[in-house]
Amino acid sequence: MTIERSNPEGLHATPGYHHVTRVQADTMVFLAGQCPLQPSGELAPGGLEGQTTQVIDNILAALTAVGATPDQVVRTVIYVASSERDDLSTVWTQLNESPLAPAFTTASTLLGVAQLGFPGQLVEVDVTAAL
C-alpha cells in the first residue's frame, strides 16, 4: 500500500493538510461519521471540547478495530454545528493536537453546518483509511 500526499503548484498553502492524496491499496476502510456518543449511547459532556474528545476516542477505537492507524487515513470530513469560524478553528486545533493528528495531514474538509443528527450534537468526523 502506498499513500502519496501533495500540494500541487498553483493551489493555496494549507494549514497542515494536503490538497491531493493518491492511494494504491488492497483494502479501503470507510468509517461511519463518528459522533460524540459515549459507549452508553449518551452524548459526551463538556460542550465542543468534550464532544471533540469523544469523537477522537471513537475514531481511534474504530481504526484500531480494523488494524489501521491515523497515518493510514486518506480522507476526512469534519462537521461542526456552528456558523462561528472560531468554533471550527477550535475543533481543527484540538484534532491536530490529539493522537489522531496524522489523519488530518491528508485530504481534509472542515465544514460549519446548521445541525447534526443527535440533539445537542456539535461535531462529527467522517474518515476513510487505506490498508
The overall pTM is greater than 0.85? yes
CA distance 33 to 100: 15
Q: Write down the residue that cell numbers 483494502 correspond to.
A: 27
Tell me the mean pLDDT in the region 4-15: 91
Strand partners, 45: none
CA distance 79 to 122: 8
Q: How confident is the model at residue 78 (pLDDT cuts 50, 70, 90)?
A: very high
Give the model's pLDDT for residue 1: 84
Pairing of the two strands 123-130 and 20-24:
unpaired
129: cell is 483509511
| 3 state SS of 45 | coil
CA distance 39 to 71: 25
Q: How confident is the model at residue 79 (pLDDT cuts 50, 70, 90)?
A: very high
Tell me the mean pLDDT in the region 71-92: 97
114: cell is 446548521
